[in-house]
Amino acid sequence: MKTSARNHFSGEIKEIKSGAVNDEITLSVDGSTLVAVVTQESTKSLGLAVGSKASALIKASSVLVMVDSDPAKISARNVLSGSVASVKTGAVNSEVTISAGNLQIAAIITNDSATRLGLAVGTPASAVFKASSVIVAVD
């Protein structure tokens, strides 16, 4: 599968919590847990089930970068903590890659934000994204 999403993680569905309209899908990916929220219709049409394989796609522009904060004190369901693996500075934005466990997560943030946060290779940082920003895909 080819997509424009910078972040593409394959894993196994560990849990599905059904709601009136949406379902919460928990994926295990290389030792990390990712949470997605999809409609019940998507759960059915994709054939999502506990134990089945699925991929999580997250656009880099949907990933926030956090430093010096307590991940338990943020409402986003996905907080992957690690350190900055790379910073590529452009004219306006920077691409920041965070290494969190076995995952590499790309984020696009403004150059001003990268400077203000003091981002450099090795800086402790977390990649943060809402469950509603995760697109679930199956082969």
Tens of pLDDT along 9-58? 999 999 999 999 999 999 999 999 999 999 999 999 999 999 999 999 99
Both tokens of 31, joined, read: 């030792």
**Any idea which architecture 7-58+131-137 has in CATH?**
Beta Barrel (2.40)
Asked whether residue 117 carries a pLDDT value surpassing 90, the answer given is: yes
63-73: average pLDDT: 92
61-81: average pLDDT: 94
* Share of residues in the chain with pLDDT > 70 (%): 100
CB 63 within 8 A of CB 115: no
Give just the sign of the alpha carbon dihedral 38, 43, 46, 51: positive
CATH 2.40.50.100 in the chain: give the residue spans. 7-58+131-137, 60-129
Q: What is the pLDDT of residue 13?
A: 98
Using pLDDT thresholds of 50, 70 and 90, give the confidence band for residue 69.
confident
* Share of residues in the chain with pLDDT > 90 (%): 94
Fold of 60-129: OB fold (Dihydrolipoamide Acetyltransferase, E2P) (2.40.50)
Q: How far apart are CA 139 and CA 1, in angstroms?
A: 8
